[in-house]
Amino acid sequence: MNAEKPLAGQVALITGGSQGIGLAIARRLGSLGARLALCARGKARLMKAVGALRAEGFEVLPVAANVARAKDVAALVQQTKQKLGVIDILVNNAGVGVFTPAHELSEGDWDRVMDTNLKGAWLCSKAVAPQMIRRGTGHIINISSLAGKNTFAGGGVYCASKWGLLGLSGCMAEDLRAHGVRVSAVCPGSVQTEFSPHAGKDPQKMLQPDDVAHVVAMLVTQAPQSFVSAVEMRPTRKP
């Protein structure tokens, strides 16, 4: 293993990779030598992110896709395999949030959050798992949230999606560990991104996207005989 580039020769697919946490994860894995496939729904923002990463010297494949659609996911995985090679690392980071009392949610809002945050992670994992099983190795990292363990007013559908993602992660870890495939969940608290409002919080005290990227890098470079099933992240000082 190259000490400076421990992921050299590996392919990492990051969903929701055009901004915030996903972009920070892509940059960190690229710095460790991984070839990157970036997925996002918005093509313009995706290409801007890819341009920035390529300017830094990283090999990046952009694929516009909606992870909530099985056909999009199948095309995403197929294009990545054709252009870069089989996927060694999958980071399920794509997510949306609607923050309103559960009894006031529309069915459309419920479906949009659950389809992206939970169904999307399942579809992507389902699509890459067979190739990982055949090779006897692989990492699936699900970006969940402390909202998957704690409740708050207005968080009904978001919390439900992240609690579900933690349950899915744990079960998949049991399903795949015998095949050499490691599944981990990362649960950050509030992160300083444009994802959701953080009224009254000091941005300088909040977790930063690079903090989450650091944890993902740790997970995919850990010793081969063990795996970390879940990581909870909090800022040093309460924002």
Question: Would you give the end-to-end CA distance of the chain in angstroms?
Answer: 39
For residue 8, what pLDDT is reported? 96
Q: What is the pLDDT of residue 2?
A: 73
* Residue 195 CA from chain centroid, whole number: 14
Closest CA to 196 of 117, 92, 107: 117
Q: Flag whether 6 is in a domain.
A: no
Quick: pLDDT tens for 140-193.
999 999 999 999 999 999 999 999 999 999 999 999 999 999 999 999 998 987
Q: Which residue has the tokens 């099983």?
A: 133
Mean pLDDT, the chain, whole residue set: 94
Which pLDDT belongs to residue 190? 86
Task: Please report whether residue 238 resides in a domain.
Answer: no
pLDDT of 15: 98
The answer to whether residue 239 sits within a structural domain is no
Q: How far apart are CA 54 and CA 36, in angstroms?
A: 10
Kindly report, residue by residue over 205-224, the tens digit of the pLDDT: 889 999 999 999 999 999 98
Q: Which carries the bigger pLDDT value, residue 4 or residue 2?
A: 4
What does 44-102 look like in DSSP terms, one character per residue? Answer: HHHHHHHHHHHHTT--EEEEE--TTSHHHHHHHHHHHHHHT-S-SEEEE-------S-G
pLDDT of residue 234 exceeding 70, the answer is yes
163 in any annotated domain: yes
**In this structure, is residue 2 part of a structural domain?**
no
User: 202: pLDDT confidence band, cut at 50, 70 and 90?
Assistant: confident
At what angle are helices 209-220 and 20-31 packed, to 10 degrees? 40
What does the pLDDT look like over 105-123, one tens digit per residue? 999 999 999 999 999 999 9
Q: Would residue 117 count as lying in a domain?
A: yes
Of 56-60, 85-89, 93-97, 200-204, the range with the lowest mean pLDDT is 200-204
State the Cα–Cα distance between residues 212 and 218, nearest whole angstrom.
10
For residue 158, indicate whether it is catalytic: yes
Confidence of residue 31 (pLDDT cuts 50, 70, 90): very high
pLDDT score of 197: 57
Domain annotation covers residue 102: yes
User: Residue 195's pLDDT band (boundaries 50, 70, 90)?
Assistant: low
CATH of the domain at 38: 3.40.50.720
**Taking a C-beta distance cutoff of 8 angstroms, is the pair 38, 50 a contact?**
yes
Domain that holds residue 194: 11-233
Copy the structure tokens of residue 161.
Answer: 């999606």
In a domain, 167, yes or no: yes
Hey, which residues does 64 pair with through a beta bridge? Answer: 40
- The number of folded domains in the chain is 1
As a whole-number percent, the residues of the chain with pLDDT over 70 amount to 97
Query: Of the listed 158, 160, 162, 176, which one is catalytic?
Result: 158
Q: What is the pLDDT of residue 238?
A: 79
Mean pLDDT of 227-231: 95
